[in-house]
Structure 1
Amino acid sequence: MNGFERRANLIKEKIMQTTLVMMRTTDPKRIRIADISKEASVSQVTIYNYFGSKEALVREVFKNFVEKAIADFEAYMDEEHTFKEKIEHIIFQEGAAYRDFPPNLIQQLLMDDAELAAYIEHMYQEKTIPITMRIIEEGKASGEISEEVSMETVLAFIQLYMNQYEVMLAMAERSGDTDDFFRGMVHMFFYGICGKT
Protein backbone atom coordinates (compact mmCIF):
# COMPACT_ATOMS: atom_id res chain seq x y z
CA MET A 1 0.00 0.00 0.00
CA ASN A 2 1.50 3.32 -1.04
CA GLY A 3 1.33 6.62 0.86
CA PHE A 4 -1.72 7.87 -1.05
CA GLU A 5 -3.68 4.68 -0.31
CA ARG A 6 -2.71 4.84 3.37
CA ARG A 7 -3.91 8.45 3.64
CA ALA A 8 -7.13 7.60 1.79
CA ASN A 9 -7.79 4.69 4.18
CA LEU A 10 -7.13 6.90 7.21
CA ILE A 11 -9.56 9.55 5.91
CA LYS A 12 -12.20 6.91 5.14
CA GLU A 13 -11.75 5.39 8.60
CA LYS A 14 -12.07 8.83 10.23
CA ILE A 15 -15.33 9.48 8.36
CA MET A 16 -16.71 6.08 9.37
CA GLN A 17 -15.66 6.46 13.02
CA THR A 18 -17.22 9.93 13.18
CA THR A 19 -20.45 8.57 11.69
CA LEU A 20 -20.49 5.66 14.16
CA VAL A 21 -20.13 8.04 17.13
CA MET A 22 -22.92 10.24 15.76
CA MET A 23 -25.21 7.24 15.18
CA ARG A 24 -24.94 6.31 18.85
CA THR A 25 -26.63 9.55 19.90
CA THR A 26 -28.60 10.73 16.85
CA ASP A 27 -31.21 9.12 14.63
CA PRO A 28 -29.37 8.35 11.35
CA LYS A 29 -32.20 10.03 9.42
CA ARG A 30 -31.34 13.30 11.16
CA ILE A 31 -27.61 13.09 10.48
CA ARG A 32 -26.57 15.14 7.46
CA ILE A 33 -23.44 14.83 5.36
CA ALA A 34 -22.70 18.43 6.40
CA ASP A 35 -22.72 17.36 10.08
CA ILE A 36 -20.37 14.45 9.41
CA SER A 37 -18.13 16.69 7.31
CA LYS A 38 -17.85 19.23 10.12
CA GLU A 39 -17.21 16.63 12.86
CA ALA A 40 -14.65 14.69 10.79
CA SER A 41 -12.97 17.85 9.46
CA VAL A 42 -13.23 16.71 5.85
CA SER A 43 -15.11 18.19 2.92
CA GLN A 44 -18.56 16.98 1.91
CA VAL A 45 -17.12 16.22 -1.53
CA THR A 46 -14.62 13.84 0.06
CA ILE A 47 -17.43 11.95 1.82
CA TYR A 48 -19.42 11.66 -1.41
CA ASN A 49 -16.29 10.54 -3.29
CA TYR A 50 -15.68 7.69 -0.82
CA PHE A 51 -19.24 6.58 -0.14
CA GLY A 52 -21.55 8.05 -2.80
CA SER A 53 -24.40 8.83 -0.40
CA LYS A 54 -25.25 9.12 3.27
CA GLU A 55 -27.24 5.87 3.06
CA ALA A 56 -24.23 4.00 1.65
CA LEU A 57 -22.01 5.48 4.38
CA VAL A 58 -24.40 4.43 7.17
CA ARG A 59 -24.67 0.96 5.63
CA GLU A 60 -20.89 0.57 5.47
CA VAL A 61 -20.46 1.82 9.05
CA PHE A 62 -23.01 -0.66 10.38
CA LYS A 63 -21.62 -3.54 8.30
CA ASN A 64 -18.12 -2.74 9.56
CA PHE A 65 -19.42 -2.71 13.15
CA VAL A 66 -21.11 -6.12 12.66
CA GLU A 67 -18.03 -7.66 10.98
CA LYS A 68 -15.79 -6.51 13.83
CA ALA A 69 -18.25 -7.80 16.45
CA ILE A 70 -18.42 -11.21 14.75
CA ALA A 71 -14.62 -11.40 14.36
CA ASP A 72 -14.16 -10.57 18.07
CA PHE A 73 -16.86 -13.11 18.98
CA GLU A 74 -15.22 -15.81 16.85
CA ALA A 75 -11.77 -15.07 18.30
CA TYR A 76 -13.07 -15.41 21.86
CA MET A 77 -14.90 -18.65 21.03
CA ASP A 78 -11.69 -20.10 19.55
CA GLU A 79 -9.83 -19.53 22.81
CA GLU A 80 -9.75 -22.05 25.66
CA HIS A 81 -12.86 -21.15 27.66
CA THR A 82 -15.49 -23.28 29.31
CA PHE A 83 -18.96 -23.42 27.82
CA LYS A 84 -20.24 -21.34 30.74
CA GLU A 85 -17.61 -18.65 30.13
CA LYS A 86 -18.56 -18.55 26.45
CA ILE A 87 -22.27 -18.13 27.19
CA GLU A 88 -21.44 -15.47 29.78
CA HIS A 89 -19.37 -13.69 27.14
CA ILE A 90 -22.28 -13.80 24.67
CA ILE A 91 -24.69 -12.31 27.22
CA PHE A 92 -22.32 -9.56 28.37
CA GLN A 93 -21.20 -8.72 24.82
CA GLU A 94 -24.79 -8.45 23.67
CA GLY A 95 -25.24 -5.76 26.31
CA ALA A 96 -22.20 -3.87 25.05
CA ALA A 97 -23.48 -4.09 21.46
CA TYR A 98 -26.91 -2.80 22.49
CA ARG A 99 -25.34 0.18 24.17
CA ASP A 100 -23.69 1.02 20.84
CA PHE A 101 -26.72 0.19 18.73
CA PRO A 102 -30.02 -0.04 20.63
CA PRO A 103 -32.45 -2.62 19.16
CA ASN A 104 -34.90 0.05 17.98
CA LEU A 105 -32.10 1.73 16.00
CA ILE A 106 -31.08 -1.60 14.45
CA GLN A 107 -34.70 -2.35 13.53
CA GLN A 108 -35.04 1.06 11.92
CA LEU A 109 -31.81 0.63 9.93
CA LEU A 110 -32.92 -2.78 8.67
CA MET A 111 -36.43 -1.58 7.76
CA ASP A 112 -34.99 1.36 5.83
CA ASP A 113 -32.33 -0.63 3.97
CA ALA A 114 -33.22 -3.98 2.35
CA GLU A 115 -29.60 -4.53 1.30
CA LEU A 116 -28.41 -4.13 4.89
CA ALA A 117 -31.20 -6.41 6.17
CA ALA A 118 -30.15 -9.12 3.68
CA TYR A 119 -26.50 -8.72 4.72
CA ILE A 120 -27.34 -9.07 8.43
CA GLU A 121 -29.45 -12.18 7.78
CA HIS A 122 -26.60 -13.66 5.73
CA MET A 123 -24.05 -13.01 8.50
CA TYR A 124 -26.41 -14.48 11.08
CA GLN A 125 -26.98 -17.66 9.08
CA GLU A 126 -23.42 -18.10 7.77
CA LYS A 127 -21.38 -16.97 10.78
CA THR A 128 -23.27 -16.54 14.04
CA ILE A 129 -25.41 -19.69 13.96
CA PRO A 130 -22.54 -22.06 12.95
CA ILE A 131 -20.28 -20.65 15.69
CA THR A 132 -23.06 -20.98 18.27
CA MET A 133 -23.83 -24.54 17.16
CA ARG A 134 -20.14 -25.42 17.51
CA ILE A 135 -20.11 -24.03 21.05
CA ILE A 136 -23.20 -26.08 21.96
CA GLU A 137 -21.59 -29.23 20.50
CA GLU A 138 -18.48 -28.54 22.60
CA GLY A 139 -20.70 -28.06 25.67
CA LYS A 140 -22.35 -31.40 25.04
CA ALA A 141 -19.00 -33.13 24.48
CA SER A 142 -17.59 -31.73 27.74
CA GLY A 143 -20.71 -32.69 29.70
CA GLU A 144 -21.61 -29.07 30.44
CA ILE A 145 -24.91 -29.51 28.54
CA SER A 146 -27.19 -32.37 29.47
CA GLU A 147 -27.64 -35.07 26.84
CA GLU A 148 -31.39 -34.65 27.43
CA VAL A 149 -31.27 -31.15 25.93
CA SER A 150 -31.25 -30.90 22.13
CA MET A 151 -29.27 -28.46 20.02
CA GLU A 152 -32.54 -26.82 18.94
CA THR A 153 -33.62 -26.33 22.57
CA VAL A 154 -30.37 -24.62 23.54
CA LEU A 155 -30.51 -22.39 20.43
CA ALA A 156 -34.13 -21.50 21.24
CA PHE A 157 -33.22 -20.67 24.86
CA ILE A 158 -30.35 -18.44 23.76
CA GLN A 159 -32.70 -16.76 21.25
CA LEU A 160 -35.27 -16.12 24.00
CA TYR A 161 -32.59 -14.29 25.98
CA MET A 162 -31.47 -12.28 22.94
CA ASN A 163 -35.05 -11.36 21.95
CA GLN A 164 -35.64 -9.87 25.40
CA TYR A 165 -32.27 -8.20 25.69
CA GLU A 166 -33.60 -4.66 25.38
CA VAL A 167 -35.95 -5.28 28.33
CA MET A 168 -33.21 -7.00 30.34
CA LEU A 169 -30.80 -4.14 29.68
CA ALA A 170 -33.33 -1.60 30.98
CA MET A 171 -33.93 -3.75 34.09
CA ALA A 172 -30.18 -4.12 34.62
CA GLU A 173 -29.68 -0.37 34.47
CA ARG A 174 -32.53 0.17 36.96
CA SER A 175 -31.00 -2.41 39.32
CA GLY A 176 -28.01 -0.14 39.94
CA ASP A 177 -25.45 -2.90 39.28
CA THR A 178 -25.57 -4.00 35.64
CA ASP A 179 -22.75 -6.55 35.93
CA ASP A 180 -24.30 -8.21 38.98
CA PHE A 181 -27.68 -8.33 37.25
CA PHE A 182 -26.21 -10.10 34.21
CA ARG A 183 -24.18 -12.48 36.39
CA GLY A 184 -27.53 -13.47 37.90
CA MET A 185 -29.01 -13.94 34.42
CA VAL A 186 -26.07 -16.17 33.45
CA HIS A 187 -26.62 -18.21 36.63
CA MET A 188 -30.32 -18.59 35.79
CA PHE A 189 -29.43 -19.54 32.21
CA PHE A 190 -27.49 -22.52 33.54
CA TYR A 191 -29.18 -23.46 36.81
CA GLY A 192 -32.66 -21.92 36.82
CA ILE A 193 -34.02 -20.22 39.93
CA CYS A 194 -33.42 -23.19 42.25
CA GLY A 195 -29.64 -23.18 41.95
CA LYS A 196 -27.20 -25.82 40.83
CA THR A 197 -28.38 -29.41 41.35
Structure 2
Amino acid sequence: MNGFEKRADLIKKKIMKTTLDMLRTSDPKRIRIADISRMANVSQVTIYNYFGSKEALLREVFKNYMDKAVRDFEQYMNEGHSLKEKIEHILFLEKESYKDFPPGLIKQLLIEDYELTAYIEKQYKETTIPLTIRIIEEGKASGEIAQEVSIEHVLAFIQLYMNQYEALLEMAKQSADTEKFLEGMVHIFFYGVCGKP
Protein backbone atom coordinates (compact mmCIF):
# COMPACT_ATOMS: atom_id res chain seq x y z
CA MET A 1 0.00 0.00 0.00
CA ASN A 2 1.24 3.49 -0.80
CA GLY A 3 0.86 6.41 1.61
CA PHE A 4 -2.55 7.46 0.25
CA GLU A 5 -3.94 3.93 0.45
CA LYS A 6 -2.65 3.49 4.01
CA ARG A 7 -4.27 6.75 5.09
CA ALA A 8 -7.55 5.79 3.38
CA ASP A 9 -7.46 2.38 5.09
CA LEU A 10 -6.88 4.01 8.50
CA ILE A 11 -9.81 6.41 7.97
CA LYS A 12 -12.08 3.52 6.91
CA LYS A 13 -11.12 1.50 9.99
CA LYS A 14 -11.71 4.53 12.22
CA ILE A 15 -15.20 5.04 10.77
CA MET A 16 -16.01 1.33 11.20
CA LYS A 17 -14.71 1.22 14.78
CA THR A 18 -16.73 4.32 15.66
CA THR A 19 -19.84 2.74 14.13
CA LEU A 20 -19.30 -0.51 16.07
CA ASP A 21 -18.87 1.48 19.31
CA MET A 22 -22.12 3.33 18.61
CA LEU A 23 -23.98 0.08 17.85
CA ARG A 24 -23.10 -1.15 21.35
CA THR A 25 -25.27 1.58 22.87
CA SER A 26 -27.66 2.77 20.15
CA ASP A 27 -30.42 1.38 17.97
CA PRO A 28 -29.13 1.29 14.34
CA LYS A 29 -32.21 3.24 13.22
CA ARG A 30 -31.25 6.11 15.52
CA ILE A 31 -27.65 6.29 14.35
CA ARG A 32 -27.18 8.95 11.68
CA ILE A 33 -24.24 9.53 9.36
CA ALA A 34 -23.94 12.97 10.99
CA ASP A 35 -23.45 11.30 14.41
CA ILE A 36 -20.82 8.89 13.05
CA SER A 37 -19.11 11.79 11.28
CA ARG A 38 -18.93 13.82 14.49
CA MET A 39 -17.72 10.89 16.65
CA ALA A 40 -15.11 9.73 14.10
CA ASN A 41 -14.03 13.29 13.39
CA VAL A 42 -14.38 12.90 9.63
CA SER A 43 -16.71 14.60 7.17
CA GLN A 44 -20.03 13.07 6.14
CA VAL A 45 -18.81 13.23 2.53
CA THR A 46 -15.85 11.00 3.48
CA ILE A 47 -18.22 8.39 4.94
CA TYR A 48 -20.41 8.44 1.83
CA ASN A 49 -17.33 8.24 -0.41
CA TYR A 50 -16.08 5.10 1.37
CA PHE A 51 -19.37 3.32 2.04
CA GLY A 52 -22.11 4.90 -0.10
CA SER A 53 -24.85 4.71 2.55
CA LYS A 54 -25.48 4.08 6.23
CA GLU A 55 -26.88 0.62 5.41
CA ALA A 56 -23.73 -0.33 3.48
CA LEU A 57 -21.58 0.93 6.38
CA LEU A 58 -23.53 -1.15 8.94
CA ARG A 59 -23.27 -4.19 6.67
CA GLU A 60 -19.51 -3.70 6.29
CA VAL A 61 -19.05 -3.32 10.07
CA PHE A 62 -20.99 -6.50 10.78
CA LYS A 63 -19.25 -8.53 8.05
CA ASN A 64 -15.83 -7.32 9.18
CA TYR A 65 -16.67 -8.27 12.78
CA MET A 66 -17.83 -11.75 11.72
CA ASP A 67 -14.85 -12.35 9.42
CA LYS A 68 -12.42 -11.48 12.21
CA ALA A 69 -14.25 -13.75 14.67
CA VAL A 70 -14.06 -16.67 12.21
CA ARG A 71 -10.34 -16.04 11.48
CA ASP A 72 -9.55 -15.88 15.21
CA PHE A 73 -11.47 -19.08 15.88
CA GLU A 74 -9.80 -20.94 13.00
CA GLN A 75 -6.44 -19.93 14.46
CA TYR A 76 -7.57 -21.20 17.89
CA MET A 77 -8.68 -24.48 16.27
CA ASN A 78 -5.16 -25.05 14.94
CA GLU A 79 -3.48 -24.66 18.33
CA GLY A 80 -4.18 -28.21 19.55
CA HIS A 81 -6.85 -27.54 22.19
CA SER A 82 -9.08 -30.24 23.65
CA LEU A 83 -12.74 -30.54 22.65
CA LYS A 84 -13.83 -29.14 26.01
CA GLU A 85 -11.53 -26.13 25.59
CA LYS A 86 -12.92 -25.51 22.08
CA ILE A 87 -16.53 -25.61 23.30
CA GLU A 88 -15.67 -23.31 26.23
CA HIS A 89 -13.97 -20.95 23.78
CA ILE A 90 -17.07 -20.95 21.53
CA LEU A 91 -19.24 -20.04 24.54
CA PHE A 92 -16.78 -17.29 25.51
CA LEU A 93 -16.89 -15.90 21.96
CA GLU A 94 -20.70 -16.02 21.96
CA LYS A 95 -20.76 -14.13 25.25
CA GLU A 96 -18.37 -11.49 23.91
CA SER A 97 -20.22 -11.10 20.60
CA TYR A 98 -23.48 -10.77 22.55
CA LYS A 99 -22.07 -7.53 24.02
CA ASP A 100 -21.39 -6.10 20.55
CA PHE A 101 -24.26 -7.65 18.62
CA PRO A 102 -27.13 -8.84 20.83
CA PRO A 103 -29.45 -11.28 18.97
CA GLY A 104 -32.17 -8.60 18.78
CA LEU A 105 -29.78 -6.25 16.97
CA ILE A 106 -28.68 -9.01 14.58
CA LYS A 107 -32.31 -9.86 13.79
CA GLN A 108 -33.03 -6.19 13.10
CA LEU A 109 -30.01 -5.89 10.78
CA LEU A 110 -30.94 -9.09 8.93
CA ILE A 111 -34.60 -8.16 8.48
CA GLU A 112 -33.57 -4.89 6.85
CA ASP A 113 -30.68 -6.17 4.72
CA TYR A 114 -31.12 -9.11 2.34
CA GLU A 115 -27.48 -8.90 1.26
CA LEU A 116 -26.36 -9.33 4.88
CA THR A 117 -28.80 -12.24 5.30
CA ALA A 118 -27.31 -13.95 2.23
CA TYR A 119 -23.80 -13.34 3.61
CA ILE A 120 -24.69 -14.93 6.99
CA GLU A 121 -26.28 -17.95 5.29
CA LYS A 122 -23.16 -18.38 3.11
CA GLN A 123 -20.86 -18.10 6.14
CA TYR A 124 -22.98 -20.64 8.00
CA LYS A 125 -22.90 -23.19 5.16
CA GLU A 126 -19.31 -22.66 4.01
CA THR A 127 -17.51 -21.94 7.29
CA THR A 128 -19.51 -22.53 10.48
CA ILE A 129 -20.88 -25.99 9.64
CA PRO A 130 -17.56 -27.36 8.26
CA LEU A 131 -15.69 -25.99 11.31
CA THR A 132 -18.25 -27.55 13.67
CA ILE A 133 -18.02 -30.91 11.86
CA ARG A 134 -14.24 -30.72 12.13
CA ILE A 135 -14.50 -30.13 15.89
CA ILE A 136 -16.83 -33.15 16.22
CA GLU A 137 -14.63 -35.40 14.07
CA GLU A 138 -11.54 -34.43 16.07
CA GLY A 139 -13.48 -35.07 19.28
CA LYS A 140 -14.48 -38.53 18.07
CA ALA A 141 -10.90 -39.30 16.93
CA SER A 142 -9.50 -38.29 20.35
CA GLY A 143 -12.14 -40.31 22.23
CA GLU A 144 -13.72 -37.18 23.74
CA ILE A 145 -16.99 -37.93 21.92
CA ALA A 146 -18.40 -41.45 22.16
CA GLN A 147 -18.30 -43.40 18.89
CA GLU A 148 -22.03 -44.22 19.14
CA VAL A 149 -22.82 -40.48 19.04
CA SER A 150 -23.10 -39.35 15.42
CA ILE A 151 -22.16 -36.00 13.91
CA GLU A 152 -25.90 -35.37 13.40
CA HIS A 153 -26.56 -35.97 17.13
CA VAL A 154 -23.92 -33.45 18.18
CA LEU A 155 -25.03 -30.88 15.58
CA ALA A 156 -28.63 -31.21 16.81
CA PHE A 157 -27.52 -30.84 20.45
CA ILE A 158 -25.43 -27.77 19.64
CA GLN A 159 -28.37 -26.28 17.71
CA LEU A 160 -30.64 -26.76 20.76
CA TYR A 161 -28.11 -24.85 22.88
CA MET A 162 -27.64 -22.08 20.32
CA ASN A 163 -31.40 -21.63 19.85
CA GLN A 164 -31.65 -20.82 23.56
CA TYR A 165 -28.33 -19.01 23.93
CA GLU A 166 -29.89 -15.58 24.36
CA ALA A 167 -32.05 -16.93 27.23
CA LEU A 168 -29.06 -18.76 28.75
CA LEU A 169 -26.97 -15.58 28.75
CA GLU A 170 -29.82 -13.69 30.44
CA MET A 171 -30.03 -16.42 33.12
CA ALA A 172 -26.24 -16.27 33.53
CA LYS A 173 -26.41 -12.47 34.01
CA GLN A 174 -29.11 -12.86 36.68
CA SER A 175 -27.23 -15.58 38.58
CA ALA A 176 -24.85 -14.75 41.44
CA ASP A 177 -21.81 -15.75 39.35
CA THR A 178 -22.04 -15.51 35.54
CA GLU A 179 -18.83 -17.45 34.88
CA LYS A 180 -19.80 -20.28 37.24
CA PHE A 181 -23.23 -20.50 35.61
CA LEU A 182 -21.67 -20.84 32.15
CA GLU A 183 -19.14 -23.39 33.45
CA GLY A 184 -22.07 -25.43 34.77
CA MET A 185 -23.77 -25.28 31.36
CA VAL A 186 -20.55 -26.49 29.69
CA HIS A 187 -20.41 -29.37 32.21
CA ILE A 188 -24.03 -30.34 31.44
CA PHE A 189 -23.27 -30.08 27.72
CA PHE A 190 -20.49 -32.67 28.09
CA TYR A 191 -21.59 -34.90 30.93
CA GLY A 192 -25.33 -34.41 31.45
CA VAL A 193 -26.82 -33.86 34.91
CA CYS A 194 -25.37 -37.08 36.39
CA GLY A 195 -21.73 -36.00 36.13
CA LYS A 196 -18.81 -37.39 34.20
CA PRO A 197 -19.21 -41.12 33.37
Common fold: TM-score over 0.5: yes
Determine whether 1:147 maps to 2:147.
yes
**Percent of aligned pairs sharing the same letter:** 72
Q: TM-score normalized by structure 1?
A: 0.98
Determine whether 1:124 maps to 2:124.
yes
Report deviation, 1:8. 0.5
Q: TM-score normalized by structure 2?
A: 0.98
- Give, in whole Å, the separation in 1 of the partners of 2:56 and 2:20: 13
- Contact 1:18 1:36 (8 Å CA) reproduced: yes
SS in 1 for 2:192: helix
Other-structure match for 1:42 = 42
SS in 2 for 1:28: coil
Aligned residue runs from structure 1 range 27-176, under 5 A:
27-176=27-176
- Give, in whole Å, the separation in 2 of the partners of 1:59 and 1:37: 17
SS in 2 for 1:194: coil
RMSD after superposition = 0.7
1:151-180 CA-partner distances (Å, limit 9, x unpaired): 011011111111111101110010131111
- Give, in whole Å, the separation in 1 of the partners of 2:53 and 2:77: 36
Determine whether 1:26 maps to 2:49.
no
- Contact 1:172 1:182 (8 Å CA) reproduced: yes
Report deviation, 1:96. 1.0
- Give, in whole Å, the separation in 2 of the partners of 1:6 and 1:39: 21
Structure 1: segments with no counterpart, 5+ residues: none
Structure 2: segments with no counterpart, 5+ residues: none
- Give, in whole Å, the separation in 1 of the partners of 2:99 and 2:76: 20
Structure in which a larger fraction of residues adopt helix = 1
Which runs of structure 1 show a deviation greater than 4 angstroms over 4 or more consecutive aligned residues?
none
